[in-house]
Structure 1
Amino acid sequence: MNLLPAIDIRAYAGSSPAKLKSDFLVDGLFVRGKATFSYWETDRTVLGGIVPTTRPLTLPCPKELAATYFNERRETGVINIGGAGAVEVDGARYDLARYDCLYIGRGAQQVVFHSTEKGRPAHFYLLSYPAHTAYPTQHVKHADAPGVSLGSATDKNSRVLYKYIHPAGVKSCQLVMGLTMIQTGSKWNTMPPHTHLRRSEVYLYFDLPPTGFVKHYVGRPDGIRNLRLRNRQAVLSPPWSIHCGAGSVHYSFIWGMGGENQEFADMDPVDPALIR
């Protein structure tokens, strides 16, 4: 388990490029044949990547959680961004196609991940937060999820947003999760930017070719910095930071939030004219 400290707003402005990358960017989540995790102190967030190949992988319980099993006091969202796969939760099997989501409630004891497509392993992205009660495990098929069109081609921010885990969809304690696909010809996501002090957020960028990248902006509106993210890299967004990005090519990203408010529209907009 890679331990990630909370990002100090007072030290942020003076951070070197290397320190900025160390604080905000999470790399190396997806390793063939392994389950890899990072623990971010903010909202006690756990993010991870699970890539089963020739054999299934059982969800381990890192010692840092001080639990008997991973979901003993947690809820978990899983989205598959690779080949076809399956997840078994206490004996119940859920087949996850590419872009499908699985919510795993508090109390699920045995979780096993499988790749089911020959020559193309599943890549399961995991996001988890503490949970105060148990909600049932639920599978959300991307093919059945209604997409919401946002932005415009004129503003170069045309995108389709899919909400999976949220108050009007799959119920959870604090996890809100979904994915957004940037449309051809557009590059911006979440523009104009915003903050939300009631919760933190994590982005995972994917569907990028080897030469593609996203320039992701972080920091206070009056002093933003940027990071260059490649395929399947994640970026942390503390509550005080804006988060938005522009890609060099077409891309998609998974967003996930945890904190005291689950309302998707709970955002504090930032006037682009005030960004420095």
Structure 2
Amino acid sequence: MQLDPKHLAALAAVVEQGSFEQAARWLNLTQGSISLRIRALEERLGGPVVVRSQPIRLTELGQVLYRHYQELQLLSAELAARLPQLNDERPRIRIALNADSLATWFLDAMAEVKEQLLVDLLVMDQDITHEKLKDGEVLAAVSAFGQPVQGCNANFLGAMPYTAIASPEYAAEYFPEGPTTEAFKAATAMVYGHHDNLLLQFLNPWQLKDGDFAVHTMPAAQSFVDAAIKGLAWTLVPVWQAQEAIDSGRVVELTPKDRIKVRLYWHYRRLDASPLQSLTEAVMKATAALRN
């Protein structure tokens, strides 16, 4: 069965842009044209490919098609690398990863392959990124789970160390006797989002659970150290991210002997495509220090 590439491109645009309207703008088409192309896919395949909600969601059938589209893009790029006269554009790879990886090492990996591919990044907790890979929404993911998803490889990246930090003034005010259960209850934590599993894992020795302490939520992990320096809260961050501020004395570690480590894995589709292989090599290079 041959599927019209324009119809697949319309589906990809709807998924990546989040709506029919934005997809139309992305492809320089009318919204009606996008709807017709999606409907043509659904009529050809005998079922819906998207759930028309906010945001748009893929059906099981749509997940298969979108994964197929992404793989075709990579294989086309592989062919273009072997036959330069084809002059194909760089493929676009959708990746799910956690905010801390983006704030620390992932940009180094991207810099290595910037001429070979484009990326769409979905930023979310490392405990759920692999679900996006299973659903066919991404071709690669940084995950805390080591078991490979069907049809994928999984490389161990290393163990990311985290430490709890605060400004010296904040630590003196809220933790005068060190890290105690009462001190953590009285202080305010800075988290990426509600129900931060990693923070609760860190606080487990103090028998604290969600709701026992106040939190600021800030979906911008790269700003957590700045927030701690300004005395807004204490927070849990990768040591890589906080090391300079620790060394300069702008923040202090609340529990320097109780750093917590998160094992991370790079999952990627099992494809013979150079751009994805190059990205994988760059990812492994950028995280080499985590494996030492």
TM-score bracket for the superposition, by shorter chain length: under 0.3
TM-score of the superposition, structure 1-length normalised?
0.26
The structure in which a higher percent of residues are helix is 2
The structure in which a higher percent of residues are strand is 1
Greater relative contact order (CA < 8 Å, ≥ 6 in sequence): 2
TM-score of the superposition, structure 2-length normalised?
0.25
